[in-house]
Amino acid sequence: MAATFDVQPVNRFAGKCPPLKRPQEIAYFSYDDDHKFRLDESSLKYFYPPEYSHHLPANLCDGFDTFQKHDDSIDEHLDSLLTTIMEMEKAEGKRSEVDFITWRGMVTKILTAPFDHFSKFEMNATLFQGTIFIEDCHEAKVADQGRQRSQPSRPGAHSQDMMSYWGYKFETLCVMPNTWGETSREFIENRHKHIVSNKAQYCSVVKTGFANSSLIIGGEVDAVQTKKPYDPEIPGSKDRPIPWVELKTSEVIQSDRDVLKFERKLLKFWAQSFLLGVPRVTVGFRTKEGILTHLQNLEVLKIPGQVKNGKGTWDGNSCINFTGAFLDFLKKTITSEGIWKIRRLEKSPVIEVFQVEPSGHGRILTPEFINWRQQQIAGEVMRML
């Protein structure tokens, strides 16, 4: 029997939300140019915009034939996030006691669910030592991508693969591997000629909260503006907000319909950035043909207000209140180990939660993580005796 949580009517979540704590980075990791895991910030990128006189307008299709694309057919589960948390716990000598551990992408789907009527998702969850771990269901995602690819695109339109490449090409035009002072002028000027790859990533691991729930979330961040404020010489600098920048491409706005389309996109931009405490989104506007014409900076915390004063297609407070209530529901429902599904079917007014395996943690948790935590608990018990 599935337990269900009503997404609609969404107006029951309207109104002010309780004050939220700013998400705080507690750890990080990188994937290198071969997508190998590294427990460091080696893939952190620095923002520096393309120059209008030199780079713009830019054809985002350029270099598509040499794109170094990460093979996303492999299910990565929560592995990198769990390793990072485990290493942090070993260094600190204590377990992180939170209600949820998951990727940012999962929480984005929940946060946007009330206003994204076409959203559908399937996640796997398990309860271990009081924490609910949630991963994407890889099989469902692959099947969905296959269905989308087989749908014919409009005549004359670019392929899904090309349009996805535009986003990475834009990132390449906007970032540097080091601070401005440490990067050569030649590198900055020649960014339009660089081979585009999406294998390297920097992932931030943050602690955050919604209503009665605490969460550890991991997610990729595109770039930092200037640099991270942490300076070992300055006490407290570790707690300062990090000036992250999320990079996004979007079609130039020409009609009233485009305004509506852009507002709906803003829901995803806002949710994704808000969850990791990213303060700014830099949008690269492009034509239908993929020509990048100009950039615009958006302050993440002002996006909901902008939408309210615009077409009002969504409401940020409702999203936050909905997420708090939904996480409460998950805690009340997922009360034993085993594997659980969290599923929303297309256009469905409800999210279903049901158990598919009565015991164990499937492949959601790694044996290393389970061993480490069991040793920790054993140590805690010994200390209590």
Least CB distance from residue 214 to ligand A3P, whole Å? 24
Least CB distance from residue 328 to Mg ion, whole Å? 30
Contact segment (CB under 6 A) with ligand A3P among 33-41, 163-171, 235-243, 325-333 equals 163-171
Q: Which is nearer to ligand A3P, 192 or 373 (CB)?
A: 192
Contact call for residues 267 and 108 (beta carbons, < 8 A): no
Least CB distance from residue 358 to ligand A3P, whole Å? 33
Q: Which does 5 bind (CB under 5 to 8 A by kind): Mg ion, ligand A3P, none?
A: none
Q: How many residues bind ligand A3P (CB under 6 A)?
A: 8
Q: Is 218 in the site for ligand A3P (CB under 6 A)?
A: no
Q: Which is nearer to Mg ion, 220 or 315 (CB)?
A: 220
Spatial neighbors of 4 by CB under 8 A, at least 6 apart, are: 350, 351, 352, 353
Q: Which does 369 bind (CB under 5 to 8 A by kind): ligand A3P, Mg ion, none?
A: none
Which 243-262 residues touch ligand A3P, going by CB under 6 A? 248-249
Q: Is 222 in the site for ligand A3P (CB under 6 A)?
A: yes
* Number of Cβ within a 10 Å radius of residue 307: 21
Q: Is 208 in the site for ligand A3P (CB under 6 A)?
A: no
Give the pair of three-digit tokens for residue 236: 């407290």
Q: Which is nearer to ligand A3P, 239 or 299 (CB)?
A: 299
Q: How far apart are CA 349 and CA 118, in angstroms?
A: 10
Q: Is 280 in the site for ligand A3P (CB under 6 A)?
A: no
Q: Binding residues for Mg ion, per CB under 5 A?
A: 220, 222, 247
Least CB distance from residue 169 to ligand A3P, whole Å? 9
Q: Is 167 in the site for ligand A3P (CB under 6 A)?
A: yes
Q: Which is nearer to ligand A3P, 60 or 330 (CB)?
A: 60
Q: Is 168 in the site for ligand A3P (CB under 6 A)?
A: yes
Q: Which is nearer to ligand A3P, 114 or 167 (CB)?
A: 167
Q: Which is nearer to ligand A3P, 86 or 224 (CB)?
A: 224
Q: Which is nearer to ligand A3P, 208 or 249 (CB)?
A: 249
Q: Is 263 in the site for ligand A3P (CB under 6 A)?
A: no
Least CB distance from residue 272 to Mg ion, whole Å? 8
